[in-house]
Chain A
């Protein structure tokens, strides 16, 4: 039993979700005591490998430094993983847009199933995962020789950072004539990433328009929060899709989640109902969000938000 994890990284930084994937891998090898290797593929990723080597439970970090992997395109990464996968019983990645893009491609190339978004490791071949927007949890068992899994990072605690794994270079380049990188536009923000934030404040259709989302800024600043949105707010064009929390967006589970002007559609609840404490602010006291909120405040958000900002 041995696990290979595709590490998520960007701009020389290892993504925080990787530590959670390592924790899932530790559960997989718990009984058999197999090794956990981390694969860092990219261009000029030595610093990423050094960060990855600190994660507890990692046996070695395998680093592949080549321009073909620079933008984490699925075609070369899947080809690379195909070359390496024979040494492993499991290949894991986080349920990021990279992990979800690459791992199913790997699975099909290896003629095995992929299992998405695992929430729990029952045993080395049996996993729990959400279906129907998290309204049901399926337990699935794989008889494939290679298990290909994406991991919902919020469902696992992060592995510690006291380790010092060996870093080994792998010389493996592949050709990619199928796809090429054109450009990337990332939101520049001082705020934490939605999926890693300790506090998240999200706005819904009740915000009225995109301009009003600024009312969340001051509160987010004071709480060190990330700002999210419901699908309704995204569909209405208030904010971009990468702010979306829900079945079709990001899954978050912060210490504190504040839902503002969000009614609580099933698809939104699927993305945040595992938050530790949920606060709902809505003018409609019948809104379904109140059925799952720990603290509900009924009223006009345009009065409540400035008042909340002042009292924090």
Chain B
């Protein structure tokens, strides 16, 4: 079976963002970019399913500017077979991303789509659920275990307070949580090989999707900075401060 895995180019998770002086957005000029960490887990899971002989082909897809092809090359180096780049310089919100992915799903006819549960830039946690809605498929979000057999995928989900396992009829959408797997690092020979793997470029126009959103970002601010307090010298002093100064314990 074929697996489609969606990846997103985002700010590197170690970089602290700054808000632009005009408060229009965050400043991403000359900032280190990388594949969204949850997408790395998605690619790893797809590649492992191929290594187990369950998947026959892994196709990576991204939506974004030309530079996002770097992340597709990373996915190819990690083991994806080929890649699709939906090229746009516009800001694309979750619903439009889901619509574009739906068109790619229509063309590729995968049995499973794996996405990260959220991207660490906009922190929306929406695209997988929206794609599942548009395709009319079941959704296994926040997956910590994926088990495929006989036209069904059992997904163990990280929910508040514990774990829930659901069985989804294939085809289906899965979104990854942290403990699903530990992504591998790409080896140099694989990075070289990835440069020769096929990468198709499409546009939203070709796919017939209008990407304008009804949601406008009016302003971006830096949250109120929390000021550091004091260092205490002992446990007794700490307990005294908590009781008599902060009054949060009695």
Distance, CA A182 to CA B161, complexed state (A): 17
B203 CB within 8 Å of chain A: no
**Within 8 Å of chain A (Cβ to Cβ): is B144?**
yes
Chain A, residue nearest B95 (CB): A113
Complex: chain B residue closest to A275, CB-CB: B226
Q: Which of B95, B136, B162, B229 contacts A294 (CB 8 A)?
A: B229
Residues of A contacting B26 in the complex (Cβ-Cβ under 8 angstroms): 131-132, 136
B226 to chain A: which residues have CB within 8 Å?
273, 278, 292
**Docked complex Cα distance between A98 and B159 (Å):** 8
**A140 close to B120 (CB less than 8 A):** no
Across the interface, name the chain B residue whose C-beta is closest to A78.
B133
Given contacts A105-B139, A137-B223, A277-B248, contact A241 B169 (CB under 8 A): no
Interface of B is mostly: mixed
| A22-30, A36-44, A67-75 - interface stretch | A67-75
A242, B218: Cβ atoms under 8 Å? no
Closest to A142 in B: B215
8 Å CB interface, B1-43 against A: 11, 13, 16-17, 19, 26, 38
| A/B pair count, beta carbons within 8 Å | 254
Q: What residues of chain B lie closer than 8 Å to A290, measured between beta carbons?
A: 228, 231
Supposing A104-B129, A135-B223 touch, asked if A296 and B230 sit within 8 A by C-beta, the answer is yes
Interface assignment of B244: CB less than 8 Å from any CB of chain A? no
* Residue contact A108 to B11, C-beta cutoff 8 Å: no
Do A308 and B235 have beta carbons less than 8 Å apart?
yes
| B66 proximal to A (CB < 8 A) | no
* Interface flags, B85-114, vs A, CB<8A=1, else 0: 000000001110010000000000000000
Asked if A34 is at the interface of the complex by the 8 Å CB criterion, the answer is: no
Using an 8 Å CB-CB cutoff, how does the interface string of A228-251 with B read, 1 for contact, 0 for none?
000100110000011010011010
Which of A106, A108, A139, A143 has the most chain B CB atoms inside 10 A of its CB? A108
Which residues on the B side are within 8 Å of A244 (C-beta)? 178
Cβ of B235 and Cβ of A277 under 8 Å apart?
no
Number of interface residues of A (CB under 8 A): 90
Interface residues of B in 116-140 (CB under 8 A from A): 118, 120-127, 129-134, 136-140
Q: In the bound complex, how far is the Cα of B159 from the Cα of A273, in angstroms?
A: 23
Residues of B within 8 A of A74 (CB): 129, 132, 139, 141
* Residue in contact with A131 in the complex, picked from B138, B220, B249, CB distance below 8 Å: B220
Decide: B229 and A113 in contact? CB cutoff 8 A: no
Q: Would you give the shortest CB distance from B185 to chain A, in whole angstroms?
A: 16
CB of A164 within 8 Å of the partner chain: no
Bound CA span A141–B214, Å: 8
Is B168 an interface residue, CB under 8 A from the partner? yes
Chain B contacts of A182 at CB under 8 A?
154, 165-167
Residues in B with CB closer than 8 Å to A78 are: 133
- Could you pull out 20 A-B pairs where Cβ atoms are within 8 angstroms? A74-B129, A101-B142, A105-B132, A108-B95, A113-B95, A117-B123, A140-B216, A177-B169, A178-B172, A179-B140, A181-B166, A182-B167, A184-B163, A184-B165, A186-B162, A231-B178, A241-B158, A248-B118, A294-B229, A312-B249
13 additional contacts (CB under 8 A) given A140-B217, A143-B215: A97-B142, A113-B215, A130-B223, A131-B220, A132-B123, A133-B123, A135-B16, A135-B223, A178-B136, A178-B169, A182-B165, A183-B164, A256-B248
B interface list, Cβ under 8 A from A: 11, 13, 16-17, 19, 26, 38, 93-95, 98, 118, 120-127, 129-134, 136-142, 144, 154, 157-169, 172, 177-179, 213-223, 226-232, 234-236, 238-239, 241-242, 246, 248-249
